[in-house]
Amino acid sequence: MDSLQTTKQRFGIIGNDLHLNRAIEKAVRVAATDISVLVTGESGVGKENIPKIIHQLSHRKHNKYIAVNCGAIPEGTIDSELFGHEKGSFTGATNARSGYFEVADGGTIFLDEVGELPLTTQVRLLRVLENGEFIKVGSSVVEKTNVRIVAATNLNMLEAVKKGKFREDLYYRLATIEIHLPPLRERKEDIHLLFRKFAADFAQKYKMPTIKLQDDAVKILENYSFPGNIRQLRNIAEQISVVEENRGITADKLLHYLPKSAGNLPMIIGGQKAETDFSNEREIMYKILFDMRNDINDLKKLTFDILQHGNTGKVHEDNKHLIQKILKDKNLNDENNTVEVVQYQDNSFDDDELNYEDSIDETETSSLQDIEFEMIKKSLERHQGKRKMAAKELGISERTLYRKIKQYNL
C-alpha cells in the first residue's frame, strides 16, 4: 500500500493537516474494495482528488474513469447522459447513445454534486447500486454494468433527506464509506504552503520571478476565512503573480486582493447556510415585492368593488380597512388621514377599465421578471460568468440558474 506522503506527491496534494491526512488514508484503505464512497466538504476543498486516488489505487485502474458534474447537466437530459437512450426515444434522439454507466463498465464513475440529481434519476441510480442494472431511456431491456461509484457533495445530505430532496435509501447506499475534507479555514498551517506552491506554478507558467509574502502578509492570509477555499486561494495567487511588479508582497498589497465581501458569500457551515449580507438583502427585496403585491391585490379588490357598486356615495366598510392599511403601510396613516367618501359622476366603464385586473397581473409579472433578470445578471458579472459561484450566491441550484440563463438569453 502506498504511503501517505507518496500518495500526496503522486496526486499533487499539499498540506499536513491531521483531518486531511485521515481523509487520504481512508481513501487509500477503501481503494482495494468496490464499496461506494461519498466525499463531503465545502465547494473548493479539492473533493475531486479523492475519487482519483481511489480509482488509481484500485484493481479498476486500467479501465475508464469518468467524472460527471450532476449539477451542470439539465434535468431533461441527465437520464440520457447517465444511462443512454434509444433512437427516437425523445425529440432529437436521431441515434442510439450509450450512457456513462455503459461506457465506464469495469471502471469508476465520479458523480460530483450528487445532491443535485432529480428524484427520478435517484431511483435509477439506486437500482445500479443495488444490483448493477439500468434501463436506457426509451428502452425496456434491462442491461448490466459493473462500475465503482464515488459521489461528492457540498450539501448537508441528512438535511436534504429530511426535506425530501434526496432519497434516504440512496444516501445510505452511497455513504457506505463517507470521507470528509476540511475547509481551508480549518487548515491554517497549510494555507501558506499552498500559496507558495501556487505562486511557484504561476511563476513558471508566466515566466516571471516568484512572488513572496512578507511576514505580516502571511499572518493576514492565514487568518482569512476563504469561503471559496483552495480554489479562491489559487485565484488570489494568480492575480498577484500577474499584476504586481514588486515580487515582495506586503500586508497592504495583499489586502487589495482579499475581497471584503468574500466572507459574506453563502457557504455551508455545520450543515447550515451562513447568514450573509447578500441573503439579507435578497430577503428584504423579496419582502418588499410581496408587500407590493399584497397592496396591488388590495387596490384591485377596492377598485372592483367600486366598479361593481358604482356611485353609492360611500365606501364599503371592508374597503375602509383596506385603505387604512395601505396608508399605514406607506407611513401615511396619521390622525389626519381618514377615509373619505368616494363618488363617481359617471358609472359607465369601457372594456379597457374592465380588463384592469389583467393589466395589473401583466405589469406585476413583468416587474418581478425584470428584478430577477437584474439579480442574475449582476451575480454572473460579480463571478465573471462562473455559474456555480453565482448559483450559490443566489441560493438556487446550478441547474435552475442554467434554465434562467437560457430564459433570459444571458
The structural domains of the chain, ordered by start, are 4-182 (3.40.50.300), 190-269 (1.10.8.60), 277-408 (no CATH)
Q: What is the pLDDT of residues 209-244, one digit of tens each?
A: 999 999 999 999 999 999 999 999 999 999 999 999
Q: Which residue has the cell 473548493?
A: 44
Tell me what pLDDT residue 307 has. 62
Helix (H) or strand (E) holding 173: helix 168-174
Q: Which residue has the cell 511563476?
A: 203
Torsion of CA 191, 197, 203, 205, to 10 degrees: -120
Confidence band, pLDDT 50/70/90 cuts, at residue 351: very low
Q: 245 in helix, strand or coil?
A: coil
The answer to whether residue 264 scores a pLDDT higher than 50 is no
Tell me what pLDDT residue 335 has. 43
Work out whether the CA dihedral 150, 153, 159, 164 comes out positive or negative: negative
Tell me what pLDDT residue 371 has. 76
Neighbours of 182 (CB within 10 A): 19
Tell me what pLDDT residue 148 has. 97
Tell me what pLDDT residue 324 has. 58
Cell digits for 270? Answer: 455545520
Confidence band, pLDDT 50/70/90 cuts, at residue 101: very high
Tell me what pLDDT residue 393 has. 81
Percent of the chain with pLDDT over 70: 74
d(CA 176, CA 169): 11
Q: Which residue has the cell 469495469?
A: 106
- The mean pLDDT of 106-130, rounded to a whole number, is 96
Tell me what pLDDT residue 31 has. 96
Residue 151 one-letter amino acid:
A
- Check residues 270 and 283 and name the one with the higher pLDDT: 283
Please answer whether residues 115 and 165 qualify as being in contact, where contact means their C-beta atoms are separated by less than 8 angstroms: yes
Q: 253 in helix, strand or coil?
A: helix
Lowest mean pLDDT among 23-32, 177-186, 254-263, 348-357: 348-357
The answer to whether residue 274 scores a pLDDT higher than 90 is no
Number of separate helices (H) and strands (E) present in the chain:
18, 11
pTM for this entry = 0.64
- Residues 6 or more apart whose CB falls under 8 angstroms from that of 410 comprise 373, 376, 377, 380, 404
Tell me what pLDDT residue 100 has. 97
